[in-house]
Structure 1
Amino acid sequence: MHWDRVHTLELDDVDIAYRTFGTGSELVVLVHGWPQTGRCWRRIAGPLAERRTVLVPDLRGYGDSGLARSGAYTKRDAAGDVAALIERLGHDSAIVVGHDRGARVSHRLALDHPDRVSALALLDIVPTRTVMNTFDRSSAAAMWHWFFHLQPDLPELLLAGNAEPYLRHFMRGVLATGAVDEETFGHYVRAFSEPGHLAAGLADYRAGFTTDLELDELDHAGGKRITSPLLVLWGAEGGLGGTDVVDTWRRHHADSDAVVGHAVPGGHYVPEEAPEAVLTALRGFLP
């Protein structure tokens, strides 16, 4: 696939890099997480593009996308970028598939721009408000990097020039199995070695403790829920293994019967560890 064929959408606040594959009338948007870029979908975009147009952006501050001129990296800002991409490419709505941070952006997109989301798939997350309201010693120990990234200035200081060993710590399992090859890992390292992009990724996490959480709580208290059909998938051997993920998302949906999902093989890096399982689930979910 031609991952080097990059297009750019110039928005008021940021320039968003994206790739497109296929020519179908139906649009699928694949939204990556941390510490990846759109390349995490490299085994999924091609097969989906056989019948549909597939759009793979890099989130603001990630990969080949620019830095936000406002310095804003909230999920609302990033979701607005995706909504603008869908519109600028001539589509009224899209099937949106998100993983990790990209799934949180996709959740916000479904709340802020419901008409833009015809169907939604969220990979290996539960809602931000659920995470924040259920931290205990065990979950905080497993998700220690959330709290490290939250600290002002210190992560930037310690990680400058050290992106490779830091990212290797998180991806050592998928590197060992070959789910992520060294060439792709090197791409991720280069993407986060530039100081501005490293800071942007950290700002993404910090927003989760402030604006993102505040918006999620306000919407939930006000009764705003996802309205599009929802598929949730998670790694059986990851942090959500043994969690009732489907039931959690049903409490965040307007119609609990519209939520389906199941665990897939592997851990957290679902698009790279279980691409065939993801494709099978998406094909069964989509019309």
Structure 2
Amino acid sequence: MQFWLSPQGTTRLAETGIETNIFLVILYYLSYLEPVFLFFYGDFSVRRSVTTIGIGQLYIWEFLTVITSLLAFKKQLTIESKIIFLWLFLYPIPAALTEEQHAIRAIIGMPLFALISSYGFWLLYERLVSNNKHITKNLLLIAIALSFCYYIYAYYNYSQNKISDTGVGHWQYGIGEALNYAEINNYQCVFVSNKFKRPNMYILFYTQYPPAEYQKAPHDPEAKYFTEPTQLGKYTIADLQKYNLEQSDCLFIITAKELTEFQQKYSKNQKIKTIKTPEGISKIVLLEK
């Protein structure tokens, strides 16, 4: 612990993405207990949530079941309820050390809230069912069914449209297919546009680049875009506008938005392949010069 509190320790934490500002950590921690995150909107990233008003990490009706359950646990402090409260206190900590409201990093809370909500649901059912058994049962089933249908509607009619627009860019859709094409066809010269995010990682992975070779000239692992020409074996990562590749018989892997610029710069070229998104939008273009 002494090491992590030292200047060397905090530097190491910063390099690994761990937040070292205690005030930010507290704010991040509290964000995982916010009703907006839990019940009404969820994670703000379209990659991890449907990002639709009325749908949080839990169903909106679970606000009632969770509150009911927590009040019951507080009223009867048994060993089981103490474990639940301890779990509730601890669950945000790992995620809070990195950023706020990240659904995947807070996934340890999923079974916790399932237990809390189900107990609250049972309490409500037991208290209401004695007088109006059939009415209560039907109302609860209708509420759950409507909530589930709304989620499915939002997922397929709203969330997926946003994911197709942003997720394709975040995950560099098609870059693996492009690099595999270059490897299968044994190109000895491959240009990769620096408009792709972290293209070096994909080159290392898909080409099974020798670790010993990479260690001779490693790159900054945090670099997202390359402003200067970078060489990885036969692969050159550079800005299409600024870099002139004199060698012939090279494969160019560029974004679809750069196609016009490429054709203006290299009059003699041949389009080899166009990689499209599932929606049919051109994403990556492969050409020979």
Higher strand content, 1 or 2: 1
Q: What TM-score results when the alignment is normalised by the length of structure 1?
A: 0.21
Q: What TM-score results when the alignment is normalised by the length of structure 2?
A: 0.20
Higher helix content, 1 or 2: 2
Which structure has the larger Rg over C-alpha atoms?
2
